[in-house]
């Protein structure tokens, strides 16, 4: 792949997705940021707890899966 080919692709991309310069937020974002700060931090969803419990149980009762788990991590 040479510079000419990269430039051709660059031109195609810029035609399909024009650069987005000089954008400004359409509103003042400070009130929403303050609101977000005041909200309690999101807790862990129940399915994550379930997944964690399942993984812990598997590791505890079938320690042979640890290498396989580590491999997939």
Partner 1 sequence: MELLERFAAGDVEAFEALFRQHQCEVYRWIVRVVRDRAIAEDLTIETFWRMYRAHARFDAARGNCRGWLRRIATNAALDHLRRTRREVPLPDDPADAPKAPAAERSELRQTILSAMNRLSPRLRVAVVLALIEEEPYDAIAEALGISVSAVKVRVFRGVRILRKELSASGVRA
48 binds partner 1 (CB under 8 A): no
- Per CB under 8 A, does 10 bind partner 1? yes
Please check whether residue 54 is in contact with residue 47, taking contact to mean a CB–CB distance below 8 angstroms.
no
> Residues 28 to 47: which contact partner 1 by CB under 8 A?
29-30, 32-33, 36-37, 41
Give contact residues for partner 1 (rule: CB under 8 A). 1, 5-6, 8-10, 12-27, 29-30, 32-33, 36-37, 41
């Amino acid at each position: 792949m040479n510079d000419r080919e990269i430039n051709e692709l660059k031109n195609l991309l810029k035609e399909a997705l024009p650069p987005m310069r000089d954008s400004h937020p359409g509103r003042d974002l400070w009130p929403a940021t303050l609101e977000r700060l005041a909200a309690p931090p999101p807790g862990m969803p129940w399915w994550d707890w379930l997944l964690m419990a399942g993984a812990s149980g598997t590791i505890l009762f079938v320690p042979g899966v640890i290498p396989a788990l580590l491999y997939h991590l």
